[in-house]
Amino acid sequence: MNRAAVSASSPSSLGRRSFLGIGLGAGAALALTACGGGSGASGGGAGSSVLKWGWSLPTSWDPVFSSAGWDVHALSLVYAGLTKLDPHGTAVPALASSWTYDTQGTRLTFTLRPGLKFSDGAPLDAAAVKKSLERGISDPKSLVAPQLTSVKAVSAPDPATVVIDLTHADYQIPNLLAGKTGMIVNPAAFTADAAGIAAKPAGAGPFTLTSYTQNAKAVLRRNPGYWDAGSIKLGGFELYPLPDASTVVAALQSGQYNVAQIPGSQVQAAKAAGLEVQVIPSMVVATLDVDSAKAPFDKPEVVEALKYAIDREALVKTQEFGNGEATYQPFPKGYAGYDASSANLFPYNPAKAKDLLAQAGYSGGLDITLTTATAQGVPEQIQAQLKQVGINAKIEVIPQTQFTQIVYIEHDQQLAVDQFAGRDSAVQAFQVLFGEQGLMNPGRSTPPELTAALNKVTGTPLDSADYPKVLQAATAFAVRNTPNVFLYTVPRILARAKNVSALPQTTVVQRFEGVTVG
């Protein structure tokens, strides 16, 4: 029998979910050649309205080399994958109308929709999908290659069929391909000028980039050739960096943006200003990332002391103004990987933290460096909490444009404040957080028992009754036996002008199907 067969008319019933950042550098303005026929303000019944979103610009417009999980939101505007995630994080058809596994779970066959095109009008067929996926696997500098290690070969037996042969049963692939890992890049672009894709995306998404000023602004227009163009009601899109918290409400009132991410501290001000506010549950979790290869965190007792020394409830109240929940694990309540037995795993206990430090030989306290990209707020509050147990933390601020490189690629810091924004596949999330090559695992150490647990997760069909139990067992082991310190959930808080319709409540990636601007 074929397992996990999915089609456009019969979506999968799987229940899953989907992210960090360095900048592109200098602020040169780039004029991009318009791709694809027709005006973004017309065709397919779309209006001429433009949505101006204060959120974030990507570290690269090339999904293979994008280094920030947050980039998926911007990249989803210009790229499409074989699958996408529904509001609950379930893989459903996108460029592929259906897919099916063989009985062993080692061969996955996708059927493409007819008539697909890239935004420049070039055909998007199975051969193009094959070349794009192979680039992500084989490029020496690919940042998505670690997610595709189970792929043995990609073939295109005919223009409408893509076959992925796997080294072992891996039922996570449809979810995995819904994010950056599976975004299809036009082979003509990376054959002619691969480096140029960093500033000039070549995809088949709902919008096409028409101009771009690095670190300042991206202007996009509707792509009438997008496979689901009928759902895109906006004529254009403008994307901006995250607005300053102190000015974001005024910027929304003035029309500089008509949708923007706001911190919890600005929710009441936004409502008082007549703006609509949506608090959307997300996969984002605030974290302390620990390099267990560096002293003093090479001693397990110090890591455990750190987990008991943090008053998470106080952080939620002060930093998120009550938006979010204290947590000890990477998955939110309601997600298949959420482990109820870990709900109160390391409650705030300064006395226990001091005892653990004493066991590690630090009864007189110790000095550490706490790295952050933001000088105020969370780092300062954590610094004060650690001081109560004898940990003197010196705050070192690294510019956001260098943070990922220094902390996660060079592994040059012992402890860092950050956020983990989830991944499209649960196993991918584990690999990023706990894998030996995981970006947010600076110590590069993985217990063999966790590897075995993840192999069991990978080999369990997502629609199996056993899947949640197997995944939760992996979560329970990971949060008890790895140095990662999870703090609290961070919902996506978006304020919008009243003439902007409600935004889809999508957990993983913010989508804009059906959104209009009056």
DSSP state letters, 243-304? PPTTTHHHHHHHTS-SEEE--GGGHHHHHHTT-EEEEE--S-EEEEEE-TTSTTTTSHHHHH
- Which residues, 6+ apart, have CB-to-CB distance to 355 below 8 Å? none
Please give the tally of structural domains in the chain.
2
Q: Is 173 strand, coil or helix?
A: helix
For 425, the domain range is: 285-489
Give strand pairing partners of 518: none
Spatial contact of 459 and 170, defined as CB atoms under 8 Å apart? yes
Query: Is residue 477 situated within a structural domain?
Result: yes
Spatial contact of 461 and 99, defined as CB atoms under 8 Å apart? no
Identify whether residues 430 and 293 lie together within a single domain. yes
Query: Is residue 248 situated within a structural domain?
Result: no
Q: Is 343 strand, coil or helix?
A: coil
Helices (H), 162-201: 173-176, 187-193
pLDDT tens-place values along the chain, 518 residues long: 444 455 554 333 322 223 333 333 333 344 443 333 333 333 334 557 999 999 999 999 999 999 888 899 999 999 999 999 887 778 999 999 999 999 999 999 999 999 999 999 999 999 999 999 999 999 999 999 988 999 999 999 999 999 999 999 999 999 999 999 999 999 999 999 999 999 999 999 999 999 999 999 999 999 999 999 999 999 999 999 989 999 999 999 999 999 999 999 999 999 999 999 999 988 899 999 999 999 999 999 999 999 999 999 999 999 999 999 999 999 988 888 999 999 999 999 999 999 999 999 999 999 999 999 876 789 999 999 999 999 999 999 998 878 878 888 888 899 999 999 888 888 888 988 998 877 788 888 899 999 999 999 999 998 899 999 999 999 999 999 999 999 999 999 999 999 999 999 988 899 999 999 99
CATH number at residue 175: 3.40.190.10
Identify whether residues 188 and 306 lie together within a single domain. no
Query: Is residue 277 situated within a structural domain?
Result: no
Identify whether residues 189 and 308 lie together within a single domain. no
Identify whether residues 27 and 110 lie together within a single domain. yes
CA distances from 396 to 161, 369, 458, 470 (A): 52, 7, 39, 39
Model confidence, pTM: 0.81
Query: Is residue 163 situated within a structural domain?
Result: yes
452 burial class (0-12, 13-18, 19+ CB within 10 angstroms)?
A: exposed
- Which residues, 6+ apart, have CB-to-CB distance to 183 below 8 Å? 63, 75, 76, 79, 80, 81, 203
Identify whether residues 485 and 361 lie together within a single domain. yes
Identify whether residues 62 and 159 lie together within a single domain. yes
- Which residues, 6+ apart, have CB-to-CB distance to 330 below 8 Å? 285, 337, 420, 422, 429, 433, 475, 478, 479, 484, 486
Spatial contact of 374 and 365, defined as CB atoms under 8 Å apart? no
Query: Is residue 514 situated within a structural domain?
Result: no
Query: Is residue 165 situated within a structural domain?
Result: yes
Q: How far apart are CA 418 and CA 424, in angstroms?
A: 19
CATH number at residue 375: 3.10.105.10
- Which residues, 6+ apart, have CB-to-CB distance to 175 below 8 Å? 14, 16, 83, 85, 89, 90, 91, 424, 425, 426, 428, 462
Identify whether residues 234 and 292 lie together within a single domain. no
Identify whether residues 226 and 329 lie together within a single domain. no
Identify whether residues 234 and 332 lie together within a single domain. no
Identify whether residues 230 and 291 lie together within a single domain. no
The secondary structure of residue 194, as a DSSP letter, is G
The secondary structure of residue 117, as a DSSP letter, is B
Query: Is residue 172 situated within a structural domain?
Result: yes
Give strand pairing partners of 369: 394
Spatial contact of 182 and 145, defined as CB atoms under 8 Å apart? no
